[in-house]
Structure 1
Amino acid sequence: MIYKITHRTTYKYKYPVSVGNHVACLKPRSLPPHQSAQSELQIFPAPVARTERVDFFGNRLCFFTIQEPHKELVVEARSQVTVEPDQTQNSLSTLPWEEAAALLPIDKSPESREAYQFGFESPRIRIRPEFADYALQSFTPRRPMPEALIDLTKRIHSDFRFDSKVTTVRTTPEEVFKKRRGVCQDFAHVQIACLRSLNLAARYVSGYLRTYPPPGKPRLIGADASHAWVSAYCPGYGWLDVDPTNDVVPSDGHVTLAWGRDYGDVSPLRGLVLGGGAHTLKVAVDMEPLGSFGLPEAISSN
């Protein structure tokens, strides 16, 4: 499947901003099973300085500075990505989760060494007994790692309610765990906390999720969403992606943008401004399917 993705972020300030330094993490990664064919970033007002680099986790960042007074900042990322279904998770051996946890610190392969860093606490995620206790209901003795992971995903989806009004980007996993409500970022943080509390490695994945219109209704422009899910590491097999918000294994409807220890590593747009006062934020994402050959996909009512 080929997608044309537009991610538009608009900040409106009460007072003029005289100087703004920003970092954008809005270029999709190229990796199996999807490839980023092209990506561009349009910024208004035009920055006086703009540089790009790859961060520690391999994400592509754009640093830019705006020095003219402005009361509105618009950052629009346009990308085209080709995605193929990932079949590897359906063919995994039945490695017990305890063995995966025990192997992680002693496996000297490059893949495990890279994954090991995702087994520790991070700025937004702490290891807690309550997370371990909750996870152990799924991670029963000798249960295969993929099976236990999928069961934990299903339980979070069932036990937690999606509610965009009860949390913010600063809400901790502990608070979400008590309220049993939140958004995709919160559910990903909770699941990562559960996995790390069992000495397993898990990373936060940001990206896009294709949505489908109601039967008989046209696809709405901007109705798709920026999204977050979880990737857990199994030594000898690699990363296993799960989406606790929707209780699915990500496939060709998910596009990976970036990954890190938690949301703080992969925030789509962050920075510092001088002036501005109060501000409003509007984000619109459009994920248009172009079909397999670059032609618009017919809308199905099925």
Structure 2
Amino acid sequence: MATFFIKHITKYSYSNTVVDGANLIRLHPINDDYQKVVSHFISVTNNPLIETHIDFYNNKIGTFLITEPHDELSIISEVEIITTSRLFPEDITVVSKQWEDLKLRKYDADVIDFLKPTAFSGSNDVLNLIQSKKLTETTPFKAVLELCQYVYTHFNYLKGITNVNSTLDDVWNLKAGVCQDFTTILLQMVRMCGIPARYVSGYICPTDDISRGQGATHAWIEAYIPFYGWLGIDPTNNAIANENHVRLAVGRNYTDCSPVKGVFKGIVASNLFVKVEISTSKNTETSIPPPNTFTGSSTNNSYQRNLEHIQQQQQQQ
């Protein structure tokens, strides 16, 4: 069991004032048997009312409007959370029964969205890998660990080599990227093996053995293991996600889990600042976003622009 204090700062700075900002946030940690939210406070520029609802994948979503003119948008999420370790799957069930269970469940509502892989240039390579390693002859748990090991070993963790325009093919051919890229590749491989897998966004609380991905939101997968349930696997660190991984949202891909989306009225350029601070003790010092010292030239007004900024910021971590 561990307690973490997490502060997540997101700030957009605009080159001029904008109005009628409509925003969606996925910054509410999942609250279940393995992570208990002790307290959670979100503060936003102009203090708008944040309305919440539960989406199709059982994520808690916040939405708010800022109708007044503003030249910056600051979102600060502060969480105290207690995480609990979980037992790992035991290989006590006959292998054939586990694969049969996956076949029987493939149309179930809780897994059907997480089974279909995306066609890409590396599909034949992945299928050959699955066959050569005889992954369908071992347990699904061991198969997922084998694929995680493959991604960790054959892909280099390099910041800045990929961006929001990088495709699955690009990442496969580069054999490099950051947590989002590692996660996207492993999702495809696990699904091609016939095992449901979903994208997870959240935070990583670094240890001596787990260090990649700190400083921003992190990403990993959860694979469905028969007679066990969803198990988190972190290909960036070649680790099973446990009490040091704090989950924010799950979905089919990054788009289902992105922490901030928004639109506004105004023809402006924008910069983004993101910072995540994690501690095992409460920090009495106040961290605040930097002032609006906008530097930039491009102009845009769209949800896509804000989403691209978020992705680019995360992929530099």
TM-score category, normalised to shorter length = 0.7 to 0.9
Give the match for residue 10 of structure 1.
11
Give the match for residue 87 of structure 1.
87
For the pair 1:198 / 2:189, whether they are aligned, the reply is no
Matches within 5 A, 1:60-79: 60-79=60-79
Q: Tell which deviates more after alignment, 134-143 or 199-208.
A: 134-143
Give the alignment's TM-score, normalised by structure 1. Answer: 0.83
Give the match for residue 111 of structure 2.
115
Aligned with 1:211 (options 195, 206, 212): 206
For the pair 1:253 / 2:244, whether they are aligned, the reply is yes
Give the match for residue 28 of structure 2.
27
Give the match for residue 181 of structure 1.
176
Aligned with 2:139 (options 137, 144, 159): 144
Partners of 1:132 and 1:270 in 2: how far apart?
35
Give the alignment's TM-score, normalised by structure 2. Answer: 0.79
What SS does structure 2 have at the residue aligned with 1:11?
Answer: strand
Partners of 1:70 and 1:228 in 2: how far apart?
31
Give the match for residue 52 of structure 2.
52
Cα deviation, 1:234-274, whole Å, max 9, x if unaligned, reads 22221121100001111221111110000000100012122
Structure 1 portions without partners, runs of 5+? 215-222, 297-302
Cα deviation, 1:140-194, whole Å, max 9, x if unaligned, reads 3511222221121111111111122122244322211111111101110100011
What SS does structure 2 have at the residue aligned with 1:225?
Answer: coil
Cα deviation, 1:20-39, whole Å, max 9, x if unaligned, reads 11100001001232211221
What SS does structure 1 have at the residue aligned with 2:111?
Answer: helix
Residue 211 to residue 79, structure 1, CA distance change in 2 (3 Å)? same
Residue 11 to residue 88, structure 1, CA distance change in 2 (3 Å)? same
Identity value in percent = 27
Partners of 1:94 and 1:163 in 2: how far apart?
39
Q: Which amino acid aligns with 1:120?
A: K
Superposition RMSD in Å: 2.6
Report the alpha carbon displacement of residue 72 of structure 1 after superposing the two structures with TM: 0.9
Q: Tell which deviates more after alignment, 175-184 or 160-169.
A: 160-169
| Mapped contact 1:33–1:84 kept (Cα < 8 A) | yes
Residue 183 to residue 41, structure 1, CA distance change in 2 (3 Å)? same
Q: Tell which deviates more after alignment, 274-283 or 174-183.
A: 274-283
Give the match for residue 217 of structure 1.
none
Q: Which amino acid aligns with 1:25?
A: R
| Mapped contact 1:104–1:116 kept (Cα < 8 A) | no
| Mapped contact 2:98–2:226 kept (Cα < 8 A) | yes
Q: Which amino acid aligns with 1:132?
A: L
Partners of 1:22 and 1:137 in 2: how far apart?
47
Residue 136 to residue 66, structure 1, CA distance change in 2 (3 Å)? farther
What SS does structure 2 have at the residue aligned with 1:104?
Answer: helix
Structure 2 portions without partners, runs of 5+? 285-317
Report the alpha carbon displacement of residue 76 of structure 1 after superposing the two structures with TM: 0.7
Cα deviation, 1:91-140, whole Å, max 9, x if unaligned, reads 343553x754543242399xx5412321124xxx4474444334445453
